[in-house]
Structure 1
Amino acid sequence: MRIGELAERTGISRRLLRYYEEQQLITPGRSFNGYREYQEAHVGRVLQIKGLLDAGLPTRVIGQILPCLDKPRSIYFDDPTPEMVAMLEREHDHLTKRIDCLTRNRDSIADYLETVRGIRAVVESPRRVG
């Protein structure tokens, strides 16, 4: 498939797909005329990259762990360096803090919605005079 179809199927812009290629996160083939050619597997890979970026991981970290994510839950490095372990620990801590913050925000919004819905129900309910 060409870059336009991949962009449409993943919701990722062509420009961002080219950026993923520059960062060596994806590697398309090339057709005889030089056009990028993507395989079906690129759809899942691009969505995986987007999920990792949305989670807050930088592309340099994604580039290091992406080769290990081909199978679910099978992240393994043959010879992790102390620097890589420290970097992954920092990223783990950063994600944990983001998740905590997002959870607090979600819960606050839920509380607010519950209050607003309760007020609206009281205001919209017909009053009975007895």
Structure 2
Amino acid sequence: MLISELANEAGTTVRALRYYEQQGLLHPRRAPNGYREYDEKTVGQVGNIRLLLSLGLTARDVRAFLPCLDQDIADELICPASARVIARRLTDVEEKIAALDVVRKRLTEVLAQAGG
């Protein structure tokens, strides 16, 4: 299938698919005329990529999932190649939450002192 057909079937845009390819997440074949050609399994791969990105992972993070993108990972996100990436991203999120908690406490204190 061509890139526009894949975008339609996967519920995304041609621009997003080109970005995924640029980031090394998709590897289409090229027809003699230079058109990108995808097979049916790519629809599932794109769905998995979109799911992982929606969880806050970066395209770089998603590369660790390449060995398992052919599987349906919606129910089971962890594959051996991905556990470390998820753990690292979780640590990052927890650190950001802790930093925001400090800011919230400071703002609350300032507001209380101002009589608000």
What's the TM-score once normalised by structure 2's chain length?
0.66
Post-superposition shift, 1:90?
Answer: 2.5
User: 1-side partners of 2:8 and 2:79: how far apart?
Assistant: 29
- Of the candidates 75, 79, 90, which is equivalent to residue 79 of structure 2? 75
- The structure whose residues are more often helix, as a share, is 1
- Of the candidates 88, 91, 99, which is equivalent to residue 90 of structure 1? 88
The residue correspondences of 1:44-55 to structure 2 (distance < 5 A) are 44-55=44-55
User: 1-side partners of 2:45 and 2:10: how far apart?
Assistant: 10
Q: Which runs of 5+ in 2 are unaligned?
A: 98-116
Q: Which runs of 5+ in 1 are unaligned?
A: 78-83, 99-130
CA-atom RMSD, angstroms? 2.7
Highest Rg: 1 or 2? 1
> Match of 2:43, as an amino acid?
V
User: Could you say if the C-alpha distance between residues 69 and 17 of structure 1 is closer, same or farther in structure 2, counting changes exceeding 3 Å?
Assistant: closer
Equivalence for 1:3 = 3
Post-superposition shift, 1:69?
Answer: 4.4
Residue correspondences, number: 91
Equivalence for 1:117 = none
Equivalence for 1:42 = 42
| Structure ranking higher on relative contact order (CA contacts 8 Å, 6+ apart) | 2
Tell me if the contact between 1:69 and 1:75 (Cα under 8 Å) persists in the aligned partners: no
> Match of 1:14, as an amino acid?
V
What's the TM-score once normalised by structure 1's chain length?
0.60
User: 1-side partners of 2:48 and 2:32: how far apart?
Assistant: 29
